[in-house]
Structure 1
Amino acid sequence: MGSRLIDIGVNLTNKRFDKDRIEVIQRAKKANLTGLLITGTSVEESQNALALCQQYQQNFPDYLYCTAGVHPHDADNVSDDYIEKLQALAKNDKVKAIGECGLDFNRNYSAPEQQQKVFSEQVALAEKLAMPLFLHQRDAFAPWFRTLSPYVGKIPAMVSHCFTGNESELKQCLAADMYIGITGWLCDERRGQDLRDIINLIPLNRLLIETDAPYLTPRTIRPKPKSSRNESSYLPYIVAEIASLTGIDQAEIAWQTRVNAQKIFNLTAIKESL
């Protein structure tokens, strides 16, 4: 058995898990993961994420937690009372952060102005509730960072989920005391070389690991899995790649990222069970 890990970002509500969700969780436990944080990407998906946490609480006590938020892709679809709905969800002790929220100008599935409005409202909600932020950013770093800057030090933690930025962006995030979420993107020398070149700049006390499953399956898995679907049990491959690129021991990476996740998301139940 390897070192114990926490996957801070898994899209377990995704329909690609509908046929074998319980087996996916079981495989994560077998791979020595001690907890999963399910990502909420809309009000409905956040409600679904919380429902999964509650549904599996008996089978997997103190194992599943979630976030509640609206992804920029879904910003055009929010209801007038979506903030009230997120606030209601956040009262549940299984909900550990506001998000996934942010800006995505790469595809603009929602209008940029609306993305900005919905993002700003969720950042303000996180401050009001004193909850961490689980953040998304693609091709929108300057306005994204500008939105967050006034809140640095006023929000318990900001997590740059699935970081794929450049060295300058990384340094700005670290200077703002953000945590950096690393995914299987790092395991892809074709798309992820820029990230591979700067991974050693992330201090261990700012590092988090996540699969973002079912997306971003590590290319380093051998033998190659039959399905292209990523899952939480593959998280150790990300740790191995970080270790390979930085020279830091895998056990140390596992320990520190677990401690970071426990602290940021207040995962006391997981902590007490270790």
Structure 2
Amino acid sequence: MTDQQAYKLTDIGVNLSDSVFEKDRQQVIENAFKAGVERLIITGTTEQESEQAVELCTQQLSTLYCTAGVHPHYSSQFTSSTRSMLSALSQSKHVIAIGETGLDFNRNFSTPEQQVFAFEQQLEIAAETSLPLFLHERDAHKKQTEMLTHFRDHLQGGVAHCFTGTREELYNYLDLDLYIGITGWICDERRGSELFNLLPDIPADRLLLETDAPYLLPRSMRPKPKSRRNLPQYLPYILEQAALSRAIDPYQLADQCENNCERLFSLKAAS
């Protein structure tokens, strides 16, 4: 990472309510700010963690935002009371998107039928609240795009979080007016080379950056951290790798991604 003046960045996907941050959460936040990551968007993955995310935001008003949703892995837990709770949470000024929601037919921790039901419920909440979507998808692209297309006229866009798909899948999401979230996957010389080469195909006004911490530690980091835990303070490594792929100055890319973030999530209006 450069030793120059820090970039100004927003990490659009941090699992800050995860138990791995229990002992040093405040320090993790402060270290992110010192690295130029001035805003963190906490990912809501269950009803409980969405509530926790909102609570964390209330403790640090000007720097934290969050999403509210149920990850497809936990779709079996989605009930009418879950929908009511998410609808209520969505009214908080800290909640700027509905999710993490979508479909994951890879491991099927919840059945495909349960996932489709939970996703549809959250699509309806997004339509009702005019909030964008924070989307997860794995091995379910066809069904997910079908459902998004059905709701498209009622949605305020969204982001394909942690995108690792093909060129065809990328263009399908772009055709649905979605933004594309890029993680440390592009820093992985084993698995991320295809995505690294695909990055220039993402329009400049649709690109967003995220760590998905504590997951997906950037493998290009030198020296390598002793811990395998990813942190939001490492977002500049992802920025610089993305800038390298696009042959652009990282400061220019940082400014573009910030503009994109503010546009999609209406952050200036929310602050």
Q: TM-score range by the shorter chain?
A: over 0.9
Residue ranges of structure 2 left out of the alignment (5+ in a row): none
Aligned residue type for 1:46: S
Percent identity of equivalent pairs: 49
Partner of 1:76: 76
* Counterpart Cα distance in 1 of 2:30 and 2:154: 38
Aligned residue type for 1:113: E
* Counterpart Cα distance in 2 of 1:224 and 1:270: 36
Partner of 1:133: 133
* Counterpart Cα distance in 2 of 1:193 and 1:106: 22
SS, match of residue 81 in structure 1? helix
Kindly provide the CA deviation profile for residues 156-184 of structure 1, in whole angstroms up to 9, marking residues without a partner as x.
Answer: 12210000110000011112211000000
The answer on 1:51 being equivalent to 2:55 is: yes
> Structure 1 residue 94: deviation in Å?
0.3
- TM (norm. structure 1) is 0.95
Kindly provide the CA deviation profile for residues 14-71 of structure 1, in whole angstroms up to 9, marking residues without a partner as x.
Answer: 011111101100000000112000000011110011111112x2xxx41001000000
Alignment length, in residue pairs? 267
Aligned residue type for 1:246: R
Match of residue 36, structure 2, among 32, 35, 39: 32
> Structure 1 residue 154: deviation in Å?
2.6
Residue ranges of structure 1 left out of the alignment (5+ in a row): none
Is residue 35–residue 270 contact of structure 1 (8 Å, CA) maintained in 2?
Answer: no
Summarize the Cα distance change of 1:270–1:222 in structure 2 as closer, same or farther, 3 Å threshold. Answer: farther
Is residue 102–residue 115 contact of structure 2 (8 Å, CA) maintained in 1?
Answer: yes
Partner of 1:184: 184
Partner of 2:232: 232
> Structure 1 residue 147: deviation in Å?
0.5
Runs of 4+, deviation exceeding 4 Å: none
Q: How is 1:83-94 mapped onto 2 (pairs within 5 angstroms)? A: 83-94=83-94
* Counterpart Cα distance in 2 of 1:194 and 1:229: 24
Alpha-carbon RMSD across the aligned residues, in angstroms, is 1.2
Is residue 7–residue 33 contact of structure 1 (8 Å, CA) maintained in 2?
Answer: yes
Is residue 62–residue 270 contact of structure 1 (8 Å, CA) maintained in 2?
Answer: no
- TM (norm. structure 2) is 0.96
Partner of 1:152: 152
